[in-house]
Structure 1
Amino acid sequence: MQTISSCVEAIVLEQPFLEEALSKGIINYSALADVLQDDVSQTLGKPVKAGAIMMALRRYKDRLTVSKPYYGLNALLEQLGDITLRSNLSDFTFRNSNTLIDSQAAILNTIKNKSHIFYTFTRGILESNIIISSSEKEAVLESFKNENCIALKENLSAISLVLPKHNTKVAGLYYQILKRLAWQNVSLYEVISTTNEFTIVVEDTFVDSAFSIIKNLNKN
Structure 2
Amino acid sequence: MITVPEATNTIIKRSRYLTEAMSKGFINNSSLARYIKPELEEMLLKEINISSVIMALNRLQKNLKPQSKYKNIFKTKPTIIIRSNLFEINLINSEALITKYSQILSFNGGQKFFLTFSKGISESTIIASNDIASQIKEILKHEKTISEFNNLSSITINLPDQSVVTPGIFYFFLKSLAWEGVNIIEIVSTASEFTLILEDKDVNKAFSILKSLFN
TM over 0.5: yes
Instruction: Name the CA distance, whole Å, in 2 between partners of 1:81 and 1:148.
Output: 39
Q: 1:76 aligns with which of 45, 57, 73?
A: 73
Cα offset, 1:10, TM superposition: 1.7
SS at match of 1:171: coil
Structure 2 counterpart of 1:59, one-letter code: R
Structure 2 counterpart of 1:79, one-letter code: T
Instruction: Name the CA distance, whole Å, in 2 between partners of 1:78 and 1:52.
Output: 43
Structure 2 counterpart of 1:192, one-letter code: V
Q: Is the Cα contact below 8 Å between 2:86 and 2:130 reproduced in 1?
A: yes
Residue 31 (str. 1) matches residue 31 (str. 2): yes
Which consecutive aligned stretches of 4+ in structure 1 deviate over 3 angstroms post-superposition?
Answer: 77-80
Q: Report the count of equivalent residues.
A: 215
Q: 1:128 aligns with which of 109, 119, 124?
A: 124
Instruction: Name the CA distance, whole Å, in 1 between partners of 2:114 and 2:129.
Output: 5
Cα offset, 1:109, TM superposition: 2.4
Q: Which residue of structure 1 aligns with residue 41 of structure 2?
A: 41
Residue 61 (str. 1) matches residue 58 (str. 2): no
Cα offset, 1:114, TM superposition: 4.4
Structure 2 counterpart of 1:28, one-letter code: N
Structure 1 counterpart of 2:112, one-letter code: H
Cα offset, 1:55, TM superposition: 1.4
Instruction: Name the CA distance, whole Å, in 2 between partners of 1:143 and 1:93.
Output: 14
Residue 198 (str. 1) matches residue 197 (str. 2): no
Q: Is the Cα contact below 8 Å between 1:120 and 1:131 reproduced in 2?
A: yes
Listed as ranges, the matches of 1:1-220 within 5 Å are: 1-65=1-65, 70-111=67-108, 113-219=109-215
CA RMSD of aligned residues (A): 1.6
TM-score by length of 1: 0.91
Structure 1 residues not aligned, in runs of 5+:
none
SS at match of 1:159: strand
- Name the % identity: 35
Q: Is the Cα contact below 8 Å between 2:107 and 2:132 reproduced in 1?
A: no
Structure 1 counterpart of 2:88, one-letter code: D
- Cα distance change, pair 166–153 in 1 and its aligned pair in 2 (3 A): same
Instruction: Name the CA distance, whole Å, in 1 between partners of 2:20 and 2:162.
Output: 24
Cα offset, 1:168, TM superposition: 2.3
SS at match of 2:63: helix
TM-score by length of 2: 0.93
Structure 2 counterpart of 1:107, one-letter code: I
Instruction: Name the CA distance, whole Å, in 1 between partners of 2:184 and 2:8.
Output: 31
Instruction: Name the CA distance, whole Å, in 1 between partners of 2:70 and 2:110.
Output: 38
Instruction: Name the CA distance, whole Å, in 2 between partners of 1:3 and 1:161.
Output: 44
Instruction: Name the CA distance, whole Å, in 2 between partners of 1:74 and 1:141.
Output: 41
